[in-house]
Amino acid sequence: MAGTSATTPRLSKSRVQSGRQCHKRLWLELHRRDAAQWSEAAQAVLDAGTQFGELARELLGGGVLIEADHLHVDDALAETAAALALPRRQAPRLFEAAFSHRGVRVRVDALERGRRGDTLVEVKSTASVKDEHLWDCAIQTWVARGAGRAIAKVVLAHVDTAFVYQTPGDYRGLLHRVDITAEVEARLPEIPRLVAELKRVAAGPMPAIATGAHCAQPYDCPFFEHCRAAEPPGPEYPVDLLPHAVGVIARLLAAGYTDLRKVPTSALPPGRLQRIARVTRTGRAHVSPKLPRLLAAIAYPRYYLDFETVSFVVPRWPGTRPFQPVPFQFSCHVEQRPGELAHADFLDLSGASPLRAFAECLLATLGTHGPVLVWNRGFEAAPLRDLAALFPDLADALLGVAERLLDLLPLYRAHYYHRDMRGSWSIKRVLPTVAPELAYDELAIGDGNAAQAGYLEAIDAATPPQRRAALHAELSAYCRRDTEAMLRLMTPPAPRRAPRAAGASPPA
Ligand code: SF4
């Protein structure tokens, strides 16, 4: 059984946010921090936020940085008090100012001192203001005012996605300041009650809360594996695997259905959801006879193409924007005539902008005619348009390629489903149901996140040459597998029967 703490732990801004998401998350952060597991993707987001925050200090105009870290809170409070005791002209802006009020401690990204009060600036490496940011700022404002500061204005400084990096080292314009004072003021009356409630949670026993949709909203909870391990296993095919069906799932759960195989067809809207439920229940894959006909009708020469991209909050190469998917690698299988195959690829691990060489190599590979087969067209179309805007001399050819894109995903979505796809038509879900021998789990790099991480490691100047060569081979194998997969999926399976499943029945 979970124990309780002898003294009430102090709250911080991030702990209050955790408590708003889930009382159990707050409790675990305070009492079982060892049980947290941060994914590589979550860590990458945190690292990007840290990098953006450091750059933002320059973009905001410089100031006095309170150096003491989160492990030395009393030092940070003393440093802040000393800086604020200076005349305003000597310390007009403080970074990481520390305040404490009624057991809640916060660090303010930037505190701008004005004649008629302070402006509290929160920096976020996101593309817009989100509801959780407003609560974040409300907590900070409540604490800073409680500690004696006259906060007159609250600003959220986020990433301006229209910013285009032009001159090396010049990031002016990357920050977009939004006045959120009114939204924060509207939330302030809630804060004392929230803080009192979370203090009770912190000092009490571990809350009994089951996992659910709240575990990923607004942030992925690092205790998910810990919580799931303590819960009984759910059905093999839960109703929440139904795609794009939030309302339907909520209705089914409210009616007591958790296992998709037990849901009667009549409880679902006609069309794709009914098909998914039927295939899941019977175990028999759905393959429309139209699918092989449509695939066979595609003309030659055929180009099977896949891009890998990377994106940065702070653009790395001139001509690119924040969050822009920048292509650094492609694989292309060329089928001139049925069965006559050649392969070409591109991968630049120099760390310099890969864009020009990527575009030229791509155009040389694809020629001027023949369908360019992709899986999920938008993933290739957007980089092609960006490249066309960046290189006017190649624009016509690149836009011509974009017009030749032929998306296999909608064909499969309309005409194929296997229950092991679990509601997803991503190529990594479809392929194992058609060609298990081509699975991705045998690869050292097996998904897009790992490919991005591998690329970033490879272009890091500190990476030894041997490791870079290994990453080159792993990235090449991964991207090639995507185009091999498309080639294989040109021959869809005949309908087949999977192991028997339980029939639909009312919820227990
Ligand atoms: S995994 Fe879900 S239930 Fe568990 S602490 Fe996190 S948010 Fe709460």
State whether 192 and 261 are in the same domain. no
Give the residue numbers spanning the domain of 390: 286-492
Mean pLDDT calculated for residue range 66-85: 94
What's the pLDDT at 420? 96
Ligand 1 in reach of 28 Cβ (< 6 A): yes
Question: Do 268 and 153 lie in a common domain?
Answer: no
Q: What is the 12 CA–ligand 1 centroid distance (Å)?
A: 19
Quick one: 138 and 153 in the same domain? Answer: yes
434-459: b (≥16 Cβ within 10 Å) or e: bbeeeebeebebbebebbbbbbbebb
Looking from the CA of residue 209, the nearest atom of ligand 1 is 3
Confidence of residue 48 (pLDDT cuts 50, 70, 90): confident
> Could you identify the atom of ligand 1 that is nearest to the CA of residue 222?
6
- pLDDT, tens only, 488-504: 999 988 755 444 444 44
For the stretch 125-140, pLDDT in tens is: 999 999 999 999 999 9
Check if 221 has its Cβ closer than 6 Å to any atom of ligand 1.
Answer: yes
For residues 451 and 474, give the distance between their C-alpha atoms in angstroms, rounded to a whole number.
Answer: 9
> Are 155 and 21 members of one domain?
yes
**DSSP 3-state of 265:** helix
Looking at residue 128, which CATH number applies to its domain? 3.90.320.10
Q: Average pLDDT in the 24-38 region?
A: 95
Are residues 108 and 37 part of one domain?
yes
Nearest atom in ligand 1 to the alpha carbon of residue 212 is 2
Is-contact 474 444, C-beta < 8 A? Answer: yes
Give the CATH number, domain containing residue 434: 3.30.420.10
User: Are residues 182 and 66 both part of a single domain?
Assistant: yes
Mean pLDDT in residue range 37-46: 82
What does pTM read for this prediction? 0.86
Look at residue 2 and tell me if it is in a domain: no
* Residue 108 near ligand 1, beta carbon < 6 Å: no
CA separation for the pair 469, 467 (Å, rounded): 5
Cβ partners under 8 Å of residue 173, min gap 6: 160, 163
Among candidate residues 10, 12, 11, 3, the one with its CA nearest the CA of residue 31: 3
Q: How far apart are the first and last CA of the chain?
A: 30
Task: Tell me, in angstroms, the distance from the centre of ligand 1 to residue 451's CA.
Answer: 29
Say yes or no: 239 and 185 in one domain. no
Across the range 384-393, mean pLDDT stands at: 98
3-state secondary structure of 222: coil
Instruction: Summarize pLDDT for 436-449 with one digit per residue, the tens.
Output: 888 788 899 999 98
* Confidence grade of residue 211 (pLDDT, cut at 50, 70, 90): very high
**Cα 472 from Cα 334, distance rounded (Å):** 22
| 247 and 298 co-located in one domain | no
pLDDT at 4 over 50: no
State yes or no: pLDDT of 248 exceeds 60.
yes
Residue 209 domain-assigned (yes or no): no
Domain annotation covers residue 416: yes
Residues 25 and 169 in one domain: yes
Inform me whether the pLDDT recorded for 400 exceeds 70: yes
Alpha helices in 159-218 (DSSP H): 181-187, 191-203
Where does 91-181 show beta strands of DSSP type E?
93-101, 104-114, 117-123, 151-159, 175-179
Distance 141 CA to ligand 1 centre (A): 27
- From atom 3 of ligand 1, which residue's Cα is the shortest distance away? 211
% of the chain surpassing 70 pLDDT: 95
The Cα 211–Cα 259 span in angstroms is 16
For residue 38, the CA-to-ligand 1 centroid distance in Å is: 13
CB of 119 within 6 A of ligand 1: the answer is no
Are 153 and 93 members of one domain? yes
Residue 327 shares a structural domain with residue 474: yes
Atom 2 of ligand 1, residue of closest alpha carbon: 215
pLDDT average, residue stretch 395-411? 98
479 and 332 in a common domain = yes
142: left (phi over 0), alpha (psi -120 to 50) or beta: alpha
As given in the structure block, the two tokens for residue 350 are: 């120099």
Looking at residues 246-266, what average pLDDT do you find?
A: 93
- Ligand 1 pocket test target in 15, 17, 20, 24 with most atoms within 8 Å of CB: 24
Q: How far is CA 256 from CA 260, 272, 328, 391, 467, in A?
A: 11, 22, 48, 57, 52
Q: What value does the mean pLDDT take over residues 44-68?
A: 90
Q: Which of 215, 219, 226, 228 to mutate to test the pocket of ligand 1 (most atoms within 8 A of CB)?
A: 215
Q: What percent of the chain has pLDDT over 90?
A: 87
Work out how many domains the chain is built from and give that number.
3
- Cα of 222 from ligand 1 centre, angstroms: 8
